[in-house]
Amino acid sequence: MRKIKLLEDKFGAKWTGICLNYGYIPDGVRVKREMRVCEAIAESFDREIILPAYMVNCPGACRSMGLTDNDEELCRMILEKNVVSYDSVYSAVKTVPRTAMPVSSLTLGRFDAPYMVISFMKPGIAMAMVRQWQTVFGKGPEMEISTFLSICGGVMSAIVQKEQMYISLGCPSSRSDGIINSDELVVGLPYSLIDVLT
């Protein structure tokens, strides 16, 4: 938690940690209802929680966590709510990272040594973080911005694949349901890089 506090002190946004658990569900406070990963992240800013895979109710998050590989069915579900072509959705979904192995549960909250940290923040704070990244690494973070599976895949699973900072605009449902405020972005980075950026 000390390193999370370092981030908050330097940049001014609130952060939460995430551990991806493979093959087990740890002891702790499990969520009481089904929810999306983005909802669990928002809830974990104030308390530590365990989100078992069987309680994840977002098809995109299930794909991002390696729980399903039926991209065709996911695309059909996305098309029910959006007026875009199947080929466009399929191409976009195929580019979104997913974990190589199924995730059994997520531990989320403000604890020591999570695998990654995530924040919902104002654009100005995100700009300061990218500037710090550029100062340290000599270039901006490599990322693709997408509105499909954007937090669960475009940030969480992306960090698992390549340890660097990722920024997301959120997906339509995370915004329409008020999980992410209209004036916020999502930023995530590996816990191991906090010292470098602070």
Task: Read off the pLDDT of residues 23-38 as tens digits, 9 standing for 90 and up.
Answer: 999 999 999 999 999 9
Instruction: Provide the edge-to-edge strand list for the sheet that holds 116-121.
Output: 49-52, 105-109, 15-21, 116-121, 185-190, 166-168
Q: In three state form, how does the secondary structure of 169-198 look?
A: CCCHHHHHCCCCCCCCEEEEEEHHHHHHHC
Both tokens of residue 83? Answer: 């007026």
The pLDDT tens digits of the residues spanning 122-147 come to: 999 999 999 999 999 999 998 778 88
Tell how many helices (H) and how many strands (E) occur in the chain: 9, 6
For residue 89, the model assigns a pLDDT of 84
Alpha-carbon distances, residue 77 vs 80, 133, 145 (angstroms) = 5, 37, 21
The model carries a pTM of: 0.91
CB 98 within 8 A of CB 66: yes
Asked whether the predicted pLDDT for residue 189 surpasses 90, the reply is yes
Asked whether the predicted pLDDT for residue 70 surpasses 90, the reply is no
CA distance 140 to 185: 17
Both tokens of residue 31? Answer: 């969520």
What pairs with residue 16 in β-bridges?
Answer: 118
- Helix, strand or coil, per DSSP, at residue 120: strand
Measured at the CA of 36, the angle between CA 78 and CA 174, to 5 degrees, comes to 65
